[in-house]
Structure 1
Amino acid sequence: MSSNSKIFEEEKISKLLVKFSVPIVFSLLVSELYNMVDTFFVGRVIGGNGIGALGVVFPIQRIIVALSVLISVGTSTAFSRSNGKKDTKKSKRILENGFTLSYCIMIPLTIFLYFCKEQVLIIFGASKDILPLAQDYLGLILFGSVFLSLTIFISDIMVALGNSKISIISTSIGAIINVILDYITVMHMNMGVKGAALATSVSQFIGFIYAYYNYRKMTKEFNVSLRFELDKKIIMPIVLVGVSAFIVEAEDGILMAVLNNLLKGSDMGIIVLGVISKVYMFLFVTLCGIASAMQPIAAYNIGSKNYKRLKSIMKKTNLYAFVTSTIIWAISMIFAPQFIQIFVKDAEIIKESAKAFRIMISVFPVISVYYVSIYYFQARGNAKTSVLLSVSRQLLIMIPISVILVKGFNLGQMGVWISYPISDILASLGSYMLIKNEGMELNIAIRKQNEIEKTKGQYILN
């Protein structure tokens, strides 16, 4: 048994969750930081139109990240299960196909978005005043998207291999360079949104170089090669499992596009949404980190059929996710105005944003079971359930409710804000019912294993 395999089977679950969640949380935090730092500098130098331009590009960035996560989550889950079964040959093929799929999707997408950026940005809500700035930003930010995608892939594989330090260092390098270059290009060189986009793309490229170098070293035992051929039998399970993760990431962008359209005619509403969305995304970093850390641990134990340990993994993950979410919720409710002040100085905007933000996160802790459930069913390889959960909260519940409240009940901005807690409650109830049923099935599997072990013991004694 390799040392990497041993930690999944024997190390304390709480220790594993902390060990794996820290780099994931850090990576997610920096991913949000990339967008936040650009907004911070652009907002101070250019003002409202600059923030508006970045806000319009934001949904496109989320979709790019979502496609990257689809491949990385699907590959790491398939790899963890294969590695748990000690199938080195299949593990090698999974890594090769996942890496190849990443750039085979991202390169054509980048080319398409670059040459069709004006039409795409108009669809996502860019006005005449914002469109030129949005085009400048998107045109340059796209050059780093391929490297960002591959870095996300490598980070998830590093965690699946039990080595989380590479992800932390790679992310740190990119973050530091991005902040420095943003300060130079936006504040001192007066390059505006172009400077912010250039800083982000360069930092993503440098972070990728470090991650890829270590990826090649870490995967030597699997003799991974850079192959250009794709195996349908491997690609399909990767895509099916990763679809739910894709939806979780992409639905943020889709939701923002819909809400921006619902708030048309209210400059204050669009400004408030643009500001609080930056803060709102940070609330999910720790929660998603814990749930994501559980996934390779659960997937490995599913592969090795250690159901007793799997049940313990689920219990502790749900507990840690709820406790951390409650702490984050309390801090956010108390210091909402202070968080808003990071981006804006206008007293009226701060007041309206803090009010809307507190409504949005009013039941935030209950959503923990929703995210844990999504990642658990991904680990199980249950694509249908994980996809259903993924689309339920924002696409199936929040968007229809917000449209009904704004258009049907004429609640305006308030309809948008209260659609968040309503959706959180409904999605969490559905997730709880599914995970409770899964727990009952695990109990049956554990009892069967105990009976088999008991029978074997009696046979040996006789």
Structure 2
Amino acid sequence: MDDRIFSDGKISKILLRFAIPAIISLLVAELYNMVDTIYVGRYIGANAIAALTIAFPIQRFLIALGFLVAVGASTYVSRNLGEKNFLEIEKTIINAFVITLTLMVFMTFLIFFFKESILYKLGASNVTYSLTNEYVSIVLMGGIFQCLGLVGCYIMTSLGNTKITLYANSIGAILNIILDYILVAYYGVGIQGAAIATVVSQIVSFFFVLYRFKEVFKSFKIKISIRSIFSSLSLDITSGIIAIGFSTFVIEISDAVVSVILNNLLYSKGGDTAIIIIGVITKISMFMFIAIIGISSAMQPIVAYNFGAEKYNRMKETVIVSIKTVTIISIIFAAVLGFLSNEIIGFFLMDEKILPSAVKAFRICISLLPFAGVYYIGIYYYQAIGEAKKSFFLSIFRQLVVFIPLAIIFVQILGTLGAWIAYPISDLISSSISLYLLNKASKKDIASDKLPSKKVALN
């Protein structure tokens, strides 16, 4: 473990050192998630894509729980690393894994018990229910392993291992592609085969992370036993992890909430065809978030470390460099995806009658998404310095406060087109608000929870 990676050298180089593996890792992760869609769309049919779309909120909810703990714990670790508080790091690690295991076991059983009613409320019809049920019943089993692996990766990243998430996701993605081909394309197992491929990949990826995490146990002399676990459990640390990570949880769960509302709105106006279109758009537009989330999340441990080390000028420089970088790179992503949208969407969607409408909808949805980069920079920045209220406000603003009301109104007026138009308007409004808050913060001092006697100057 070498914490000089956070404090020495040019900010742009440090940011890229974290961001490049993060972006590639997210790219791999999206391929991981898209593989099922590709195979079921090509070898089972469009209704299978609808089934995966309906299942998406459940998967998003489970991974949101993982991010809740992962982001909270990693930020806690980065700050304490800057303060050289190694005992607190040890306790944070143990608390993080206990929280994750408890949450995931409880929520998995709860979802499974109420599965039928949940799926219908998520937009399943008599046509798509059986496929959705088959898929969800299996993928629920992989959520625990996926989230435990995620927490392990984020903690190691906060300690300077910038490539662990990339390696873990790559192993899972490659295995998922192979298993999907064998089970879905070759043996024709169907949507159950896609689900089995996903779960097996998540389990193998988790055990890889667990193997690499031995370095952390050794470095901090952490001994796993019932006695050591109970002695390390702390309500203050648990609440701190949840408070810091809650904004990321809200961002993730907002996607699930939006998906539920959109599924029902669009089904009422366009039937299963509209569900298929939004499913494809959601999967492909996630590529746009690769640069945005990758750079924003890469910025977070750098800001958190320098906040703990009281190097406030480097904090400000990190934020400025991050905003410039995320805007430029995400514009490039948008241009490429927009130009090749017909070919990309056509790869997923074989139905030529639906394809033109899907391409048009996709181009509208991503038209202003690059400018949302500053919105996510704001969220991750306030998380890093412990400003939970501002981070929470921003986390709910784009999807829950702006997009959902706009989508409901526009769909009633314009039909399915209204849903597509609501996306760029929401991106414009949310990015403007975040830029305003960050600009306002740069003109005044922000009081620190950790350092109450000092003022953190951002200008």
Which consecutive unaligned segments of at least 5 residues does structure 2 have?
A: 449-453, 455-459
Matching residue within 60, 63, 66 for 1:62: 60
Instruction: Say if 2:240 is the partner of 1:237.
Output: yes
Instruction: Say if 2:417 is the partner of 1:417.
Output: no
User: In 1, are the aligned partners of 2:364 and 2:420 still within 8 Å (CA)?
Assistant: yes
Question: Which residue of structure 2 aligns with residue 133 of structure 1?
Answer: 131
Instruction: Say if 2:404 is the partner of 1:406.
Output: no
For 1:191, what is the secondary structure of its paired residue? coil
For 1:4, what is the secondary structure of its paired residue? coil
Which consecutive unaligned segments of at least 5 residues does structure 1 have?
A: 450-462
User: In 1, are the aligned partners of 2:41 and 2:350 still within 8 Å (CA)?
Assistant: no
Larger deviation: 193-202 or 347-356?
Answer: 347-356
User: What are the superposed Cα offsets for residues 160-186 of structure 1, whole Å, 9 maximum, x if unpaired?
Assistant: 011123222221111111100010111
Question: Which residue of structure 2 aligns with residue 436 of structure 1?
Answer: 439
- One-letter amino acid of the counterpart of residue 319, structure 2: M
Cα distance in 1 between the residues matched to 2:42 and 2:370: 33
Cα distance in 1 between the residues matched to 2:371 and 2:191: 38
Cα distance in 2 between the residues matched to 1:49 and 1:355: 21
Question: Which residue of structure 2 aligns with residue 146 of structure 1?
Answer: 144
> Shift of residue 114 of structure 1?
2.1
- One-letter amino acid of the counterpart of residue 261, structure 2: V
Cα distance in 1 between the residues matched to 2:75 and 2:117: 36
User: What are the superposed Cα offsets for residues 278-328 of structure 1, whole Å, 9 maximum, x if unpaired?
Assistant: 111111011100000000000000111101111111110011011001111
Instruction: Say if 2:162 is the partner of 1:164.
Output: yes
> Shift of residue 200 of structure 1?
0.6
Cα distance in 2 between the residues matched to 1:346 and 1:123: 27
> Shift of residue 354 of structure 1?
1.1
Question: Which residue of structure 2 aligns with residue 269 of structure 1?
Answer: 274
Cα distance in 2 between the residues matched to 1:87 and 1:245: 25
TM-score under structure 2 normalisation?
Answer: 0.93
Cα distance in 2 between the residues matched to 1:212 and 1:440: 44
Question: Which residue of structure 2 aligns with residue 44 of structure 1?
Answer: 42
User: In 2, are the aligned partners of 1:311 and 1:442 still within 8 Å (CA)?
Assistant: no
Question: Which residue of structure 2 aligns with residue 250 of structure 1?
Answer: 253
Matching residue within 114, 117, 120 for 2:118: 120
Cα distance in 1 between the residues matched to 2:291 and 2:180: 26
- One-letter amino acid of the counterpart of residue 199, structure 1: A
Identify if the C-alpha distance between structure 1 residues 335 and 136 changes in structure 2 by more than 3 Å, giving closer, same or farther: same
For 1:263, what is the secondary structure of its paired residue? helix
Cα distance in 1 between the residues matched to 2:165 and 2:392: 27
Question: Which residue of structure 1 aligns with residue 398 of structure 2?
Answer: 393
> Shift of residue 400 of structure 1?
0.5
User: In 1, are the aligned partners of 2:77 and 2:159 still within 8 Å (CA)?
Assistant: no
Cα distance in 1 between the residues matched to 2:195 and 2:202: 11
> Shift of residue 444 of structure 1?
11
Q: What is the RMSD of the two structures over their aligned residues, measured on CA atoms? A: 1.8
Report sequence identity in percent. Answer: 41
User: In 2, are the aligned partners of 1:26 and 1:171 still within 8 Å (CA)?
Assistant: no
Identify if the C-alpha distance between structure 1 residues 193 and 444 changes in structure 2 by more than 3 Å, giving closer, same or farther: closer
User: In 2, are the aligned partners of 1:96 and 1:225 still within 8 Å (CA)?
Assistant: no
Instruction: Say if 2:258 is the partner of 1:260.
Output: no
- One-letter amino acid of the counterpart of residue 286, structure 1: A
Larger deviation: 108-117 or 284-293?
Answer: 108-117
- One-letter amino acid of the counterpart of residue 104, structure 2: M
Larger deviation: 225-234 or 385-394?
Answer: 225-234
Q: How many residues align?
A: 444
> Shift of residue 442 of structure 1?
5.6
Cα distance in 2 between the residues matched to 1:386 and 1:214: 32
Cα distance in 2 between the residues matched to 1:364 and 1:175: 26
Q: How does 1:55-134 map to 2 (within 5 A)?
A: 55-134=53-132
Question: Which residue of structure 1 aligns with residue 309 of structure 2?
Answer: 304
> Shift of residue 33 of structure 1?
2.0
